[in-house]
Amino acid sequence: MTLAVVILAAGKGTRMKSAMPKVLHPIAGRPMAQHVVDAAAALSPANTVVVYGHGGDQVRAAVTGERLQWAEQAEQLGTGHAVAQALPHLNEDVVLVLYGDVPLIRPDTLRDFVARVTDRTLALMTLELDDPAGYGRIVRDEQGQVTRIVEQKDASDEQKRIREINTGILACSRRFLNDSLPKLSNRNAQGEYYLTDLIAMAVEAGMEVVTEQPAHAWEVDGVNDRVQLARLERVYQRVRAEALMRDGVTLLDPARLDIRGQVTTGTDVTIDVNVVLEGRVTLGEGVRIGPNCVIRDASIGAGTVVEANSVIDGAEVGEECNVGPFARLRPGTELAARARVGNFVETKKSRIGEGSKINHLTYIGDSRIGKGVNVGAGTITCNYDGVNKFQTVFKDGAFIGSNSSLVAPVTIGENATVGAGSVVTKDVPDNGLTVARAKQRNIENWPRPGKK
C-alpha cells in the first residue's frame, strides 16, 4: 500500500512567547518540524504534506524535503480541520498524521505503527502516564476495545482517572478520512473540529482501532514552551551521546556534549567536556578532542589531537596532526599528516603540508605550504589588498622567522629562510636568506622622558 504523511505545523505557539513559529524552534540546531519531516522521509512515503498557518512563509523557507507539498490552514479550527486542508493533496492508500512540535518520534516506531493499518483498521498511538492530566483519554469497553477518545475538558471525573492517553498520532486509510472528516462537528468545550472524534466514527463503522505505544515516552513528547524545548534538547543529546559511546567513543561527560548534525567516528575516540559537533563531522580512530572545542563540517584523521578551545570549521585535518589550543581552522583549510597548528593561529583557505609547523600567534590565508615548513610566531600573510585576495606559496623546508609579514602574491623558495621581523614583498629564492627590515640604530646615553 502507498503511504502519505500529513504533518500538522500551523500553530502559533503562544506559550513560546516568540515571533518565530513554534515548529521552527530548534532541537540540535534544526527546526522541530524538520526533525519530523526527516523521520517521515525514512518511511519512503509517496507524498508528504505539511499543513502550515502562522508564519507560513518562514515555515516554508526553513523546512525542506523530497516530494514535500504544502497546505494552508488559514483559520486555526482544530486538528480535524487541519487534516482536512491536506485532503486535496492525498491520493495514497494509507495516511499517517504527525505533528511538527513532536520532534523526536523515531522512524522504527512509525514503521511498525503504519504496518498495522488496513482498510478495516485504524492505528492509534497511545501512552500510559502516571499523571495524565491535560491529555485526551482512551476509553475502552469491557472487552478492552477502544471505543473513543475524550478530551480533558470534556471528560467526566471517572474518565479523568484513565491513565492511557492519546498522543495524537494516528494512521488510517485515505478512504476513511475522505468519508469521515466532513462529518466532524465542533460541538465541544473548545469549539474545534477534533481529529480524535474519528475514533468513535471508526468504531461505529465497524472498524477495529488498534493501539501501539512507543518504546520511549519522549518520542511522543510535544513542545509548548521553552522549558519543554530545553528538556527535549537534553533528551536528544543524551540519546546521541549514548549511541557514540556504544560505537567505541569515550565521552568524559556525556551530558556536556552537543551534536547538531551527522557524526561518524572510528574506535577509541575521546571527547572532553563542552564540545559542539555541527554539520557533517568525521573523527578517525584515536582522535582526541579537548574541552570547549567547536567542530563544524570537518574531517579529522586518525591519531590527531585537538587541544582545548579550538574551532575547526570546514577543514580537513590529516592523520597524527596537532591543533591548538586556541586555534581556528576556517573553511578551506587542509592539514597534511603530522602538521601542527598551535595556539592563537588562524588559517583560511590554505593547505599545510606534511610535518609543517605553525605554532604561535599567526594568520595564514590563501596559502600553499609545502612539507617541513616552519612558520614563526607573529607571522601573517597579507593576502587582501582591500579588493582582491592573493596567494602565498611556501616551498618545502622554508623557515619563516618570527613577526614577519608576507605580502602576497609572493613565493618563499625551497629551504629558504626569512629573517625575523621582515616585510617580504618579493619572491625569496631557494636556499637563500632574506632580511627585509629597517637597520637598527643604537643611541647611547639617551635620556628617557620624565613626568612634568
Question: Which residue ranges make up the annotated binding site?
Answer: 8-11, 22, 73, 78-79, 99-101, 136, 151, 166, 224, 330, 348, 363, 374, 377, 383-384, 402, 420, 437
Task: Check if the beta carbon of residue 430 is closer than 8 Å to that of residue 413.
Answer: yes
Phi, psi of 202 (to 5 degrees): -65, -45
**3: nearest Cα among 45, 52, 53, 32:** 45
CA separation for the pair 393, 430 (Å, rounded): 12
Question: Which residue ranges make up the annotated binding site for UDP-N-acetyl-alpha-D-glucosamine?
Answer: 8-11, 22, 73, 78-79, 99-101, 136, 151, 166, 224, 330, 348, 363, 374
What are 351's strand-pairing partners? Answer: 334, 368
Choosing from 35, 81, 216, 360, the catalytic residue is 360
Distance from first CA to last CA of the chain, Å, rounded? 94
Q: What angle do CA 213, 42, 83 make, to 5 degrees?
A: 65
- The owner of cell 540546531 is 29
What are 125's strand-pairing partners? Answer: 212
Question: Which residue ranges make up the annotated binding site for Mg(2+)?
Answer: 101, 224
Task: Check if the beta carbon of residue 136 is closer than 8 Å to that of residue 122.
Answer: no
What are 292's strand-pairing partners? Answer: none
CA separation for the pair 41, 106 (Å, rounded): 11
Q: What is the DSSP string of 12-51?
A: --GGG-SSS-GGGSEETTEEHHHHHHHHHHTT--SEEEEE
Tell me whether residue 81 is one of the annotated catalytic residues: no
Long-range contacts of 284-287 (CB under 8 A, 24+ apart): 284/319
Q: Which residues are catalytic?
A: 360
